[in-house]
Structure 1
């Protein structure tokens, strides 16, 4: 099923490719919100003010979907299982040709960025350090961010590698100060280009390092 979306740029399509969001994933999401972010609520919903751009480091869309689909973390992700067994995911996934897939509603909680999941929409892009994101992905990310800005009070667009710069700010909510990872996605060059294309929206980046 395709959702045809209008924005400042030409209309684009978002295809719905839902990951499993059953009672188990819902409950694990609610628990993660409470335990990791200190937010107690009955539903796994977020109030987005931020979009976080990622690359998958997995070579294909289908393999990425398979990695996100199950509600619980696989054995291979033991390093982050100390923070909970909820599997990682994102609301959107963009293929190399720029095709946008919506994996879950953008107002539903996804585990994709430490300390900020409760207020951030995640956009994964198929790519890696050795397979930099494409021009078609750049355009798709621009269109998607513009659309999300019309739907929510989005203030920030950041690369995953910038998330630690929010530590100590009012947005940072992580119960364990030692639970941090080093990230490089989606690349500094990509973020420079996407910010140049979105400069008319006056969106903020991550706070400057002190």
Structure 2
């Protein structure tokens, strides 16, 4: 596992200082099979024929895993194909769900895959969205203050690295139907989401208001 300390220049024209976020690289399996499944997903769901499964990030989507441990959460994303306990998604693709980042309950940020490679984490928008998963979030394991601070720092880093226009919670993804970023071809492919919770999103938005995200549809 490789550890990097990445300097982040916040939009600190307002704050006049520099800050840093620590990210630990812990990659999931991304072999030739996952690459091909990702390319198939891009074509089947978005009509995008590509030689590489790259994305142009325009959005950050915050999630929770609803799994109480880091190990369990990581294992849910690690393998190439969907596990047997996700029959609700299998008809759309055998590609496993994943995310670019996973934030543990103590606030440690892990990068699971490069931000410019497609991860399957949000219907209709994967081709333009960076996913940030947070360990826990179910009733027995609520998201923590440390996770909140790490999400804020990570959002600021990503905004100053990519041309990010939107910040949303997973539960808000269907607001983008009929938006130019929405490319989902299957009108019957939707799931109901509540993550990462409205209170968590409100706090992240308050802390990042200076970044001037576009208003969600």
Please report the TM-score for the alignment, with normalisation by the length of structure 2: 0.93
Q: May I ask how many residue pairs the two structures share in their alignment?
A: 207
2:149 is aligned, of 139, 162, 166, to 139
- Contact 1:158-1:205 at 8 Å conserved across structures: no
The 1:205/1:52 distance shift into structure 2, 3 A limit, reads farther
DSSP-derived class of the 1:151 partner: coil
Write the distance in 1 (CA, Å) between the matches of 2:186 and 2:21: 40
Deviation at 1:205, TM superposition (A): 4.4
DSSP-derived class of the 2:19 partner: coil
Which residue pairs with 1:3 in the alignment?
A: 4
- Contact 1:94-1:101 at 8 Å conserved across structures: yes
Deviation at 1:134, TM superposition (A): 1.1
Which of the two has greater helix per residue?
A: 1
Deviation at 1:132, TM superposition (A): 2.4
Write the distance in 2 (CA, Å) between the matches of 1:204 and 1:137: 24
Write the distance in 2 (CA, Å) between the matches of 1:115 and 1:206: 15
Write the distance in 1 (CA, Å) between the matches of 2:37 and 2:115: 18
Write the distance in 2 (CA, Å) between the matches of 1:205 and 1:17: 33
Q: Does 1:80 align with 2:105?
A: no
1:17-166 map, 5 Å: 17-130=26-139, 131-166=141-176
DSSP-derived class of the 2:149 partner: helix
Write the distance in 2 (CA, Å) between the matches of 1:72 and 1:3: 29
Write the distance in 2 (CA, Å) between the matches of 1:132 and 1:174: 31
Please report the TM-score for the alignment, with normalisation by the length of structure 1: 0.96
Which residue pairs with 1:169 in the alignment?
A: 179
Write the distance in 2 (CA, Å) between the matches of 1:137 and 1:203: 21
Q: For each residue in 1:176-201, what CA deviation from the matched residue of structure 2 results, as whole angstroms up to 9, or x when unmatched?
A: 11110000000000000000000000
- Contact 2:67-2:138 at 8 Å conserved across structures: no
The runs of 4+ residues in structure 1 deviating greater than 3 Å are: none
Q: Give the aligned CA root-mean-square deviation in angstroms.
A: 1.0
Which residue pairs with 1:203 in the alignment?
A: 213
Deviation at 1:37, TM superposition (A): 1.1
DSSP-derived class of the 1:65 partner: helix
Deviation at 1:129, TM superposition (A): 3.4
- Contact 1:54-1:122 at 8 Å conserved across structures: yes
